[in-house]
Amino acid sequence: MKPTYSMQTVATDEVVPKSRRVYFEVFGCQMNKLDAELMLEGMMQRGYQLVHDPAEAGVILYNTCSVRERAEERAVMRMTSFKRRKMEEPDLILGLTGCVAQHKQEELSDRAPWIDLIIGTREFDRLPDLIDEARGESTSLLATDMDSPLEFVRQRNLGPQPWHAYVSVMRGCDMVCTYCIVPTTRGKEVSRPPEVILDEVRRLADEGVKEITFLGQTVNSYGKRLGAGIGLDTLLRGVEEIDGIHRCHFITSHPRFMRPKLIQAMADCSKVMNYLHLPVQSGSDSMLARMKRTYDRSFYLQSIERLREKMPDITLATDFIVGFPGETDAEFEDSLTLVEEVGFDHGYVFQYSPRPGTVSADHLQDDIDLEIKKERNHALLEALGKSGKSRNERFLGRKVEVIAEGTSKSDDTRWAGRARDHRTVIWPANDDEKPGSFVVVEVDRTSAATLYGKRVEGPSETPILPPEMRS
């Protein structure tokens, strides 16, 4: 597996010594990517420079993810590929950060004592100091305290797109979904104060960021333990007042916390994107109970109904798990019928596989045959594709505002970008296309996941409202 995340390199003529050059591989979810950006920023403040070739680096870091199978094996294998170099170059610093480092700290330090640093999910703000401490040590240095306050004041956006930034609003998760390792690797839920978050958004706007994505494992439960009245709606309304930010959305939401005042803020705030990702995981009440998701099908459907009352055209995405222990044909059928009942715009399907350390891995038998998992995966994707295709057709003939991202992956004569509801939009490239600019595309063709058309306005540095939104 190749790392998919490429952070921005800051151009500089300064030549820094090898000991201050860092090579960083990043895997996993958006939270992992943002954590890597924050680690890199802390290192850059102390004179480190990012390089894209490990041979040029004196510090090699690997930010790990526990979600995929055999993550520990892969992390050790990757570090092992640098072992010989470590023998020849004792000053080289090798570090594992992230979820696997948190979850497998003891095993890792026993199996690979030549790894200098094992840094968990709540102590990475100390990374530059920890590197200094690790220099000259002969055993792994562990920094995996889950109660660490994790303090950082972010000044810049190092994400791959200068106009978009992730902003973490909370850490950890208080839920107990039986298949999930997050509560173990990222600890209890802790929300950041709203004024700290909104200050960060203001600094990002000053730097040219136009769109932000608020991040949290259960982002819509934001505000717990911060005092009465503070919630994700506080942040959405705060962003509405920040000049320069034109779009905002949030991931990942939990159905339990789609409360009326959040829905009202989504409907009221013009910068909130017309899009919600609300993982359901299953359409069956008995499955949801076994997964300990804390809601049932009718609760989920009521949330969707409330949402569509206020935002009738909202784009809805979801996640399903197929082949969770004990899933019967009838239970799976409930997931299929839910797709039709909700009319999702988009969805992801995951085949269950046990993750060591989770309740389902330890207490439930992984008893669904792989072939059945594959069949259910296929059937559900087909249902979601059909639903997405018919939902996309309503865009035919419409003009949609898009932030241009770059050339299309499959055809460099075309450009791709994101509409206000997060849909991918593709159009034939003009000579003046510019990443991060706003354009309007008139849609003349749709597929299950994408809108196609021609550019009719733009590019512009500022948003262009589509005609139907102009008064």
Site residues, ligand SF4 (CB under 6 A): 173, 175, 177, 180, 182-183, 217-218, 254
Closest separation between CB of residue 295 and ligand SF4, Å? 11
Closest separation between CB of residue 397 and ligand SF4, Å? 39
Closer residue to ligand SF4 in complex, CB, 30/450: 30
Closest separation between CB of residue 103 and ligand SF4, Å? 13
Closer residue to ligand SF4 in complex, CB, 50/182: 182
* Phi, psi (rounded to 5 degrees) for 17: -65, 160
Closer residue to ligand SF4 in complex, CB, 217/408: 217
Closest separation between CB of residue 424 and ligand SF4, Å? 25
Closest separation between CB of residue 337 and ligand SF4, Å? 23
Q: Which two tokens stand for residue 349?
A: 């399907």
Closer residue to ligand SF4 in complex, CB, 190/465: 190
Closest separation between CB of residue 254 and ligand SF4, Å? 5
List the Cα angle 97/31/274 in 5-degree steps: 170
Residue 154, Cβ neighbours under 10 Å: how many?
19
296-299 CB contacts, 8 Å cutoff, 24+ apart: 297/334, 297/338, 299/255, 299/256
Closer residue to ligand SF4 in complex, CB, 99/141: 99
Q: How far apart are CA 166 and CA 176, in angstroms?
A: 25
Q: Which two tokens stand for residue 83?
A: 């072992």
Closer residue to ligand SF4 in complex, CB, 173/339: 173
Closer residue to ligand SF4 in complex, CB, 131/215: 215
Residue with tokens 């530059």: 128
Q: Which two tokens stand for residue 348?
A: 């992801």
Distances (CA, A) of 434 to 381, 425, 430, 437: 34, 15, 10, 6
Q: How far apart are CA 28 and CA 31, in angstroms?
A: 8
Closest separation between CB of residue 354 and ligand SF4, Å? 14
Closest separation between CB of residue 180 and ligand SF4, Å? 3
Residue with tokens 């909700």: 342
* Bridge partner residues of 249 (DSSP): 213
Q: Which two tokens stand for residue 169?
A: 């609003």
Closer residue to ligand SF4 in complex, CB, 32/217: 217
Closest separation between CB of residue 285 and ligand SF4, Å? 17
Handedness of CA 81, 133, 21, 68 (dihedral sign): positive
- What's the DSSP call for residue 359? H
Q: Could you report how far apart the first and last alpha carbons of the chain are, in Å?
A: 49
* Phi, psi (rounded to 5 degrees) for 156: -145, 165
Q: Are 368 and 397 in contact (CB under 8 A)?
A: no
Closer residue to ligand SF4 in complex, CB, 350/452: 350
Q: Which two tokens stand for residue 36?
A: 């890597």
Closer residue to ligand SF4 in complex, CB, 182/212: 182
Q: Which two tokens stand for residue 453?
A: 């058309």
**Kind plus residue range of the DSSP H or E element containing 404:** strand 399-407
Q: Which two tokens stand for residue 209?
A: 């960021």
Closest separation between CB of residue 183 and ligand SF4, Å? 5
Closest separation between CB of residue 257 and ligand SF4, Å? 10
Closest separation between CB of residue 186 and ligand SF4, Å? 8
Residue with tokens 């790894």: 115
Q: Are 316 and 278 in contact (CB under 8 A)?
A: yes
Distances (CA, A) of 136 to 74, 92, 93, 94, 143: 26, 10, 10, 12, 17
* Bridge partner residues of 404 (DSSP): 417
Closer residue to ligand SF4 in complex, CB, 158/278: 278
Closer residue to ligand SF4 in complex, CB, 177/322: 177
Residue 415, Cβ neighbours under 10 Å: how many?
25
